[in-house]
Every structure is written in C-alpha cells, then in structure tokens.
Amino acid sequence: MLEIEGLAVEREERLLFSGLSVKLSAGEGLHIVGKNGAGKTTLLRALCGLTLPATGVIKWNDQDVTEFREAFCSDLLYLGHKNANKTELNCRENLRLALGIQTISDEEVGDALHEAGLGMLSHLPTRFLSQGQQRRLSLARLLLSKATLWVLDEPYVALDYKAIEWLDSILERHLKNKGLLVLTSHQTLTMSSTIRVLNLGEQHA
C-alpha cells in the first residue's frame, strides 16, 4: 500500500503543490493530470525519492521510504521521460541492464521483446530504432519486472494506436494482479479498468 501524507514540493522559490495526501491500495491505479508546469513529473520523481520534497512523508507498506529505501526500490519500477536505453547496446542487453540485478533467462527476455514487437530487431544497437520502438523497448521491462508499484511518466508518448492497446492490456493485467499504478498522461485513458484521477491544479489553492 502506498501512502502520501502532506507532500509539498518547491521549485525555484515556488510551491508546486502542497498538502498532497493520497492513499493507494493493491489493485488501484492513479492518473495524475494537470496543466503544464503543475508538477506532474516532479510529483512522480518525489514519489520515487528522486526529488527531495519540502515537507511530507511517503510510506510503502507502512514504512517510510527514506528509511527503507532498498525495500521500496525492489518493489518499484519507474519509467521517466527518457527511455533509459543505452544507444550502443542492443535490445537484449538493454533489457537485461534495465532489470538490474533481477535474474532472468534468455527465453524470457526473447519473449518479452517479441511481445513488444521487437523480436526481429533484438540484435540491433538501439540507436537504429525509431522513437516508438525505443519506447516499446523500455516498456518491455514491465513484462519482466517483479515490481508491484509502477510509476510511469507519460508512457503513451510516441506510441501508435496498436502499441497503446498493447500497453493498456499490460496495465490492466498489472492491476488485476493486485499491482499498483501511478501514471501521468495528457490523453484520456483508453483502459477499461477504472482508475482514480488526481488533478494537480486543483490541489493547491
């Protein structure tokens, strides 16, 4: 269970948001919306512990994440604006690298790449891939990750409609398996599962 209590983040002398409190339990999703500069990305980064909040506590399974960083990080999967792919490595190597210390077999990697539609390209260095293909490669780690909390920043960017359907199905499967999901997106979600919406603009008066 994820709990955010009284979170406030400040950027350049200005409070982006303050007094933000949210609870998210297993199988729930949270869609963060807000206009440009409302602090959506910053909220996700603060949630992961990448940005230091001005005030507030984030708890994962009733434990403060700053104290139990490793436990939190082993349950967390974060995908930022950048795809986090090494351009000089091929798809297989990148996927292995992205999953860090998790042990996975070659077949699993191959299957995941195949599902992401990169089966044929898996031995090419990623610099030859298009934007959409690169995005799918970084999304392929969702298929292999054991993390229960997914934090995705604009995951639909650069995806075509078929890939959007594919991502929807992954996210729905994750929620059905009692996973937690926090994401930002400009588009209205096409997922069939209901997902809570948090509007950042309305949070701070």
Partner 1 sequence: MHKMLWKLFSRDMTLFMHRKQDVVTVLGFFLIAVALFPLGISSDPELLKTIAPGAVWIAALFSTVLALDRLFSEDLDDGTLEQQMLMPVPIALLLLVRLIAHWVITGLPLVLLAPLIGLQFGLSFDEIVILTLSLLIGTPILVLLGAIGAALTVGLKSSGGLVTLLLLPLYVPILILGTSAVSSSMHGVDVTAHFSLMGAALLVSLVLSPFAVATALKITLD
Partner 2 sequence: MSAARRIPWMKYASASNFYPLANRLVPLFMGLAIILAVIGLYIGFFVAPEDYQQGNSYRIMFLHVPAAWMSMFIYLLLAMYAIISLVWRVKMADIMAYSLAPTGAMFTFIALLTGALWGRPTWGTYWIWDARLTSELLLLFLYLGYMGLYSAIPDRQRASRAASFLAIVGVVNVPIIYFSVIWWNTLHQGSSFSVSEGASMTSDMLSALLLMALACWAYTIAVVLRRAQAVILERKKVALWASQISKK
Helix (H) or strand (E) holding 71: helix 69-74
The smaller minimum CB distance to partner 2, of residues 51 and 61, is found at 51
The smaller minimum CB distance to partner 1, of residues 14 and 82, is found at 82
Task: Give the residue carrying structure tokens 């959506």.
Answer: 40
Tokens, residue 63: 């434990």
Confirm or reject binding of residue 62 to partner 2 (CB under 8 A). Answer: no
Select from 1, 6, 11, 157 the one that contacts partner 2 (CB under 8 A): 11
When CB distances are held under 5 to 8 angstroms depending on the partner's kind, the choice from partner 2, partner 1, none that residue 76 binds is partner 1
Confirm or reject binding of residue 37 to partner 2 (CB under 8 A). Answer: yes
Helix (H) or strand (E) holding 31: strand 29-33
Confirm or reject binding of residue 82 to partner 2 (CB under 8 A). Answer: no
The smaller minimum CB distance to partner 2, of residues 34 and 179, is found at 34
Confirm or reject binding of residue 12 to partner 2 (CB under 8 A). Answer: yes
Closest approach of Cβ 139 to partner 1, in Å? 14
When CB distances are held under 5 to 8 angstroms depending on the partner's kind, the choice from partner 1, partner 2, none that residue 15 binds is partner 2
Cβ 112 vs Cβ 95: under 8 Å: yes
Q: What is the DSSP string of 78-141?
A: EE-SS----TTSBHHHHHHHHTTT----HHHHHHHHHHTT-GGGTTSBGGGS-HHHHHHHHHTH
